């Protein structure tokens, strides 16, 4: 009896293997057919400047093998986790073989090591897949987050996280010294935090109120130019300009809000997109005010409550008896943006528990029902636009005080797209998800700069940062397949009687406006 069952199982496994082999061979063939003109042949000018076709069979073989083995693994593995592991393993193997083939510098141990690690990864994928017990209901992570232990952990985890952020620049400074830590505090710390803040600001509009805004960078620009102009023209200090910039941005948020109140979905997205472009064009063309493309330079830099960070008497280093270094300004900027970002976060978390925040979410769920309950949806939408814009404006004036220079080129559509991707990737409405997404997207961009070793593989002309958009595109596609509602797809209720149960994304609306 049991022998018969195991025999049957073997049969099934063999059948599956055969099917997978067949399909992967087919996928390889398709790849070969499709990529033959692109990969296998390369036209190069010879000495007489005539194009000669050069065969590159190795490229074609690599592509075919990669696709075929990816297809094979995908067919043999059932769970997402196993597939992810196998994909990582495959990439490692490809890297190992690739460096063996292409790179003259690769050592045998490097090649062997990566290939071995890749094979182990693939093996682990199979192991995970086989030992996997199918379960229904929410994922492990979601169930843990909703459990009491998970909740205390996440709430104390937030404080631990904040503590780590506060310690981050000091630890970096102590570890790598002023010169070495600058990159980490500035490029990673400050840059990521700016986008965390922008993501949180846009999250009010898109994530909570469900209003798709493709022109958010406009408010960032309004904030930056507000500070730049107020500080250079009237000599106002940063701390006075900051609220003014917020108010001005909020004003423009309302200005945008009025015409788009009656628009929904695609139309709203289009008009907000156009609004972002209008602000950009105004910045370029209103030369008298904004100095056009040339931008505004020599904006007063940030001061430590009146104490400058220059190498001068009475400067920060002098005052505290430290050797002069630009790092202190960067550290102060880090704390400043950390403060602003946390302010945005706490305000949003509080707003979510106030009637206005609940009305935003109700608006996202069903606008008509809102109106039937006596909610003034016009005011509700306008406050969402205004508050979202205000935080964008704060971030903008921080940007200006950090750079000391603003020009329209910092406020192009690609910035809006990045911020929106952060919100969507993070999981609309989730604060922690947005922060995670900002770390992944902005940190990822910065990390690409670190991948210099790829030059060994692809030649000196290879610049990984140029592939940023390609990689983001791919990552987005992959995300939308596996986690269509973002990293954190569950919604946490704003109030509860007995226990705070996470609301599954299948019920949560995405807004139609």
Partner 1 sequence: MRWQTDPLLQVEHLTMRFGGLVAIDDLSFTAGRGDITALIGPNGAGKTTVFNCITGFYKPTEGRLAFARTGIAAPAGVDALTNTGARFAYEPSGDIYLLERMPDFEISAQARVARTFQNIRLFAGMTVLENLVVAQHNPLMQASGWTVMGLLGIGGYARRESEAVDKAKSWLDSIGLLERADDPAGDLPYGDQRRLEIIRAMCTDPVLLCLDEPAAGLNPRETAMLNELLLTIRDEHNTSLLLIEHDMAVVMQISDHVVVIDYGVKISDGTPEFVRNDPKVIAAYLGVSDEEVEQVESEIGADGGAR
Q: Which is nearer to partner 1, 125 or 357 (CB)?
A: 357
Task: Output the smallest distance, CB 378 to partner 1, in A.
Answer: 9
Alpha helices in 404-459 (DSSP H): 413-426, 431-438, 444-450, 454-458
Among 75, 91, 176, 503, binds partner 1 (CB under 8 A): 503
CB of 498 to partner 1, least distance (A): 6
DSSP 261-286: TT--HHHHHHHHHHHHHHHHHHHHH-
- In the complex, the smallest distance separating the C-beta of residue 251 from partner 1, rounded to whole angstroms, is 17
Is 136 one of the binding residues for partner 1 (CB under 8 A)? no
Asked whether position 512 contacts partner 1 by CB under 8 A, the answer is no
Looking at the Cβ atoms of 112 and 265, the one nearer to partner 1 is 265
Binding mask 460-499 for partner 1 (x = CB under 8 A): -------------------------------x-xxxxxxx
Q: Which residue has the tokens 């705070």?
A: 500
Tell me the CA end-to-end span of the chain in Å, nearest whole number: 61
Rounded to a whole number of angstroms, the minimum distance from the CB of residue 398 to partner 1 is: 21
Q: Smallest distance from the beta carbon of 424 to partner 1, in angstroms?
A: 17
**Residue 501 within binding range of partner 1, rule CB under 8 A:** yes
- Give the nearer residue to partner 1 in terms of CB position, either 177 or 243: 243
* Nearest to partner 1 of 329, 352 (CB atom): 352
CB of 349 to partner 1, least distance (A): 11
Longest dimension (CA), the chain: 91
Taken as a whole, the chain contains a residue count of 513
Among positions 352-411, residues that touch partner 1 (CB under 8 A) are 354-356, 358-359, 361-362, 365-366, 368-377, 383
Look at the alpha carbons of 370, 375, 377, 380 in this order and tell me if their dihedral is positive or negative. negative
Please give the residues from 17 up to 46 whose contact with partner 1 meets the rule CB under 8 A.
Answer: none
Helix (H) or strand (E) holding 98: helix 80-102
Task: Please name the residue ranges forming H helices in 314-403.
Answer: 316-319, 327-352, 355-365, 367-372, 377-403
CB 425 → partner 1: shortest distance, Å? Answer: 19
**What residues contact residue 21 under an 8 Å CB cut-off, 6+ apart?**
72
Which tokens go with 264? Answer: 């929904």
d(CA 290, CA 285): 8
Give the CA radius of gyration of the chain: 27
Residue among 79 and 504 whose Cβ is closer to partner 1: 504
117 with 97: CB under 8 angstroms? no
For partner 1, give the closer residue by CB, 329 or 364. 364
Residues that bind partner 1 (CB under 8 A): 347, 350-351, 354-356, 358-359, 361-362, 365-366, 368-377, 383, 491, 493-501, 503-504, 506-509
């Amino acid at each position: 009896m049991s022998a018969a069952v195991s025999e049957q199982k073997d049969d099934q496994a063999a059948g599956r293997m055969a099917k997978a082999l067949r399909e992967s061979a087919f996928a390889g063939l398709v790849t070969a057919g499709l990529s033959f003109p692109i990969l296998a042949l390369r036209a190069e000018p010879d000495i007489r400047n005539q194009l000669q076709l050069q065969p590159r069979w190795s490229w074609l073989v690599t592509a075919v093998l990669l696709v075929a083995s990816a297809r094979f693994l995908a067919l043999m593995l059932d769970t997402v986790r196993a597939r992810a592991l196998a994909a990582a393993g495959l990439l490692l193997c490809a890297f190992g073989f690739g460096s063996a083939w292409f790179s003259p510098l690769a050592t045998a141990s490097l090649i062997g090591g990566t290939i071995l690690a890749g094979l182990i990864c693939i093996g682990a994928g199979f192991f995970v897949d086989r030992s996997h017990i199918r379960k229904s209901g929410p994922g492990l992570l979601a169930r843990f987050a909703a459990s009491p232990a998970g909740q205390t952990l996440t709430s104390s985890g937030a404080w631990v996280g904040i503590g780590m952020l506060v310690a981050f620049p000091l630890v970096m400074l102590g570890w790598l010294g002023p010169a070495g830590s600058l990159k980490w505090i500035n490029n990673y710390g400050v840059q990521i935090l700016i986008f965390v803040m922008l993501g949180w600001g846009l999250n009010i509009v898109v994530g909570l109120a469900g209003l798709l805004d493709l022109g958010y960078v406009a408010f960032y620009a309004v904030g930056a130019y507000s500070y730049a102009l107020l500080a250079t023209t009237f000599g106002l200090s940063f701390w006075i300009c900051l609220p003014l910039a917020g108010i001005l941005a909020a004003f423009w948020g309302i200005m945008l809000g009025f015409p788009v109140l009656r628009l929904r979905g695609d139309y709203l997205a289009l008009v907000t997109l156009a609004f972002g472009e209008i602000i950009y064009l105004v910045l370029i063309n209103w030369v008298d005010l904004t100095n056009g493309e040339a931008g505004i330079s020599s904006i007063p830099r940030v001061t430590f409550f009146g104490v400058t960070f220059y190498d001068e008497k009475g400067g920060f280093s002098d005052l505290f008896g430290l050797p002069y270094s630009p790092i202190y300004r960067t550290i102060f900027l880090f704390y400043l943006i950390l403060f602003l970002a946390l302010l945005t976060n706490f305000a949003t978390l509080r707003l979510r528990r106030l009637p206005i925040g609940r009305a935003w979410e109700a608006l996202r769920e069903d606008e008509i029902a809102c109106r039937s309950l006596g909610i003034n949806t016009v005011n509700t939408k306008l406050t969402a636009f205004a508050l979202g814009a205000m935080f964008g404006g704060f971030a903008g004036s921080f940007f200006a005080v950090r750079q000391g220079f603003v020009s329209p080129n910092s406020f192009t559509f690609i910035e809006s797209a990045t911020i929106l991707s952060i919100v969507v990737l993070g999981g609309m409405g989730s604060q922690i998800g947005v922060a995670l997404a900002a770390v992944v997207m902005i940190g990822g961009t910065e990390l690409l700069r670190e991948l210099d070793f790829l030059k060994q593989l692809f030649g000196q002309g290879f610049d990984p940062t140029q592939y940023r958009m390609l990689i983001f595109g791919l990552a987005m596609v992959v995300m939308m397949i596996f986690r269509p509602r973002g990293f954190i797809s569950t919604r946490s209720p704003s109030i509860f009687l007995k226990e705070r149960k996470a609301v599954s994304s299948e019920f949560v609306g995405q807004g139609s406006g």
